[in-house]
Homo-oligomer: A and B are copies of this chain.
Amino acid sequence: MSDPFSFQALATDGHARTGEMTTAHGVVRTPAFMPVGTAATVKAVEPDGVRASGADILLANTYHLMLRPGAERIAALGGLHRFMNWPLPILTDSGGFQVMSLSALRKIDERGVTFRSHLDGAMHELSPERAVEIQNLLGADIVMQLDECLRLPAERAEIERAMDLSLRWAERCKRAFEGAARGRALFGIVQGGDDPDLRIASARALVAIGFPGYAIGGLAVGEPQHVMLKMIEETTPALPMDSPRYLMGVGTPDDLIEAVARGIDMFDCVLPTRNGRHGLAFTRFGPVNLKNARHADDPRPLDEASTCAAGRDYSRAYLHHLVKSNEILGAMLLSRINLHYYQDLMQGMRAAIAAGRFKDFSEESHARWERGDIQARG
C-alpha cells in the first residue's frame, strides 16, 4: 500500500524553505521545478533525459490529454505513468487554464465550462467533477481543482466573481475527489487577480475547505513581476506552514529565486523546453541566443560547467548550426541543457536554504546573470 501524501519542511531560511513531499510515486524534493509534459511528453526529451536533469516530478496537461488521446484510453492503457514511461510523480492541471487560452467558443457558467477543441472543433464539457475524474483516470499523484483564471489587468468585480466561482468549484472538486487512491492529493488554487484583499480572502476560504496543498494561480498572466511577488507575499501568510505552496506557470530563473524567497515550494513552466526549441539557452551567465551569428565560429562549449553533457560536448558553433538548420537535434540538446539548468538552480536553492545561505545564493546567481555571457574574441 502506498504511503499517504505528505509534506515536510526540513529547513527554512527566512521565508524560503526546503523539504520533501511524499507521493504514491515517490518523494519530491522542494523547492521543486516541474518540467511540462503537455501531451504526455516533455517535448524533445526522452523520460530518461528528464530524470537525468534532476526532475522528481513533471506536469501534464489535462486539456491536451482529454482531447487526445483521451483520459479513458490512457486509463485503459494503465494510466499516464505507464503510458509515457515516467515512473515518478506526476501533477496534472485541471484543464481550465488551457480552455481559456487555447479553445474557441468557450462558455463558463456555474456548472463548468463548455468549449470547442482546438484540434477538431468538437464540443467538450469540463465541470469540477469531470476535471477530477479525468485526472484520476490519468492517475495523477497531484490533482488540481478546476478554477477560472483571468488575464490581467481585469476589473475587480470580474476578479471577485471568478474567485468566488473558483471557490465553489474547489468545494465540488473536494467532494468529487473523496475516495481517490491513497497517496494522491488534491490541491486548491488561490485566485484573486492583483487584489491583495481578494487573494487573502481566497486563501482563507480554501484553507477553511481544507486541502493538502495550495496553489497560487492566475499570476504570470501579463502583470509585472513586482505585482506577482506582492501577491505571493500577501497570500502565503494565509496558507498553512505545513502544506506545499505551488506557484502555477512560473517562470524565469529570477522569478523562481524571488518566489522561493517568499515561501513557494513548487513551480511549473514551459520556458526551458519552449525556449530550447527556439534556440535559446539558459546558462549560469544568463540567457544565450544560439541563433546569433556571433556563435557561428565559436569553438567553446555553451558552459563547460554544465551538468548536462550536451552543454559541454558540443561547440557553440555546432549548436548555432543546428538551430539555423532547424535540425531536431538542436531542440533536443537545448531542451536538455535548459532542463538541467533549471534543476541545478533548484538544487542550488535547496542546498542554500539547508545551509542558511539563501540570500548569498540569490546574490551570487544575480551577479552571474548580470555579468552575462562572455563573447568569443573576434
A156 at the interface (CB under 8 A from B): no
Question: Which residues from chain B contact A332 at a C-beta distance below 8 Å?
Answer: 44, 46, 328, 332
Question: Which residues from chain B contact A297 at a C-beta distance below 8 Å?
Answer: 73, 76-77
B322 contacts A41, CB within 8 Å? yes
A305 at the interface (CB under 8 A from B): no
A318 contacts B46, CB within 8 Å? no
Question: Which among A82, A277, A320 has the highest number of chain B CB atoms within 10 Å?
Answer: A82
Question: Which residues from chain B contact A321 at a C-beta distance below 8 Å?
Answer: 39-40, 68-69, 83
A168 at the interface (CB under 8 A from B): no
A43 in contact with B318 given A73-B296, A78-B299, A296-B69 (CB within 8 Å): no
**Complex interface residues of chain A between 307 and 344 (CB less than 8 A to chain B):** 310, 313-315, 317-318, 320-322, 324-325, 327-329, 331-333
A50 and B260 alpha carbons, distance in the complex (Å): 41
A85 at the interface (CB under 8 A from B): yes
Among B68, B78, B315, point to the contact of A325 (Cβ < 8 A): B68
A327 contacts B77, CB within 8 Å? no
A324 contacts B85, CB within 8 Å? no
B46 contacts A85, CB within 8 Å? no
B40 contacts A85, CB within 8 Å? no
Report which A residues bind B (CB closer than 8 A): 39-41, 43-46, 68-69, 73, 76-78, 82-85, 277, 296-297, 299, 310, 313-315, 317-318, 320-322, 324-325, 327-329, 331-333
